[in-house]
Amino acid sequence: MTEEEWFDTYKPIKNHIEVTSSFDGHMFETYGPEVEFVKSQDNDKIWMFGDGDDGGMYIWSGWGFVNRIGYFVTEVPCPPDTTIQIQVGVPWYYCENCDSELEDPDNIIRDAFQEVDLEKCPNCATLEEMKLTGLETQNA
């Protein structure tokens, strides 16, 4: 399911507390009156927006806390005993060595550098380090 299909199917309501919120005014914050409003809704109409473990951004059915950025409340409930996850942003690789952020949709960079326990990226690794990762010929 795409983000657009999710919007069309579950029909998130507009944020009436902060009309200029993200997602064209549909997202609710994780604190204050906005999260209190979200918590007062039926659980099957609450959706969490946040960072996935792979670096992508997702919308998940249900209430969540870890890696949350915001919430949605929908008119249409999530079906019972169903977990839905919609990817809304591709994974990025963040290099703690040089502060680079690289789009990494298939986690190729992340996996290659983690496999050799190297906390660098293609922007700051030496040629010898790139050979360790097997990525030295990717852009050749």
Same domain, 85 and 51: yes
- What confidence score (pLDDT) does residue 107 get? 85
Same domain, 79 and 111: no
Residue pair 68/50 in contact by the 8 Å Cβ criterion: yes
Token pair 């990494």: residue: 104
DSSP H helical ranges for 51-126: 108-115
Q: What is the mean pLDDT of residues 114-124?
A: 91
| Mean pLDDT lowest among 106-110, 114-118, 135-139 | 135-139
Please, which residues bridge with residue 57 across strands? 51, 89
DSSP state of 13: P
Mean pLDDT score across all residues of the chain: 92
Phi-psi region of 90 (alpha: psi -120 to 50; beta: other; left: phi over 0): beta
Is 140's pLDDT higher than 50?
no
56 located within any domain: yes
Q: What is the pLDDT of residues 10-31, one digit of tens each?
A: 999 999 999 999 999 999 999 9
Same domain, 85 and 96: no
Sorted by sequence, the CB contacts under 8 Å of residue 136 that are 6+ apart come out as 127, 130
Same domain, 56 and 97: no
Is 137's pLDDT higher than 70?
no
Is 45's pLDDT higher than 50?
yes
CA-CA distance, 56 to 91, in Å (whole number)?
A: 4
140 located within any domain: no
Same domain, 97 and 84: no
**Domain interval for residue 106:** 92-133
Same domain, 23 and 55: yes
Give the residue from 90, 99, 140, 92 showing the smallest Cα distance to 119: 99
139 located within any domain: no
- Number of structural domains found in the chain: 2
Q: What is the pLDDT of residues 50-93, one digit of tens each?
A: 998 877 899 999 999 899 999 999 999 999 999 999 999 887 88
By percentage, how much of the chain surpasses pLDDT 70? 97
- What confidence score (pLDDT) does residue 29 get? 97
- What confidence score (pLDDT) does residue 133 get? 92
Same domain, 77 and 115: no
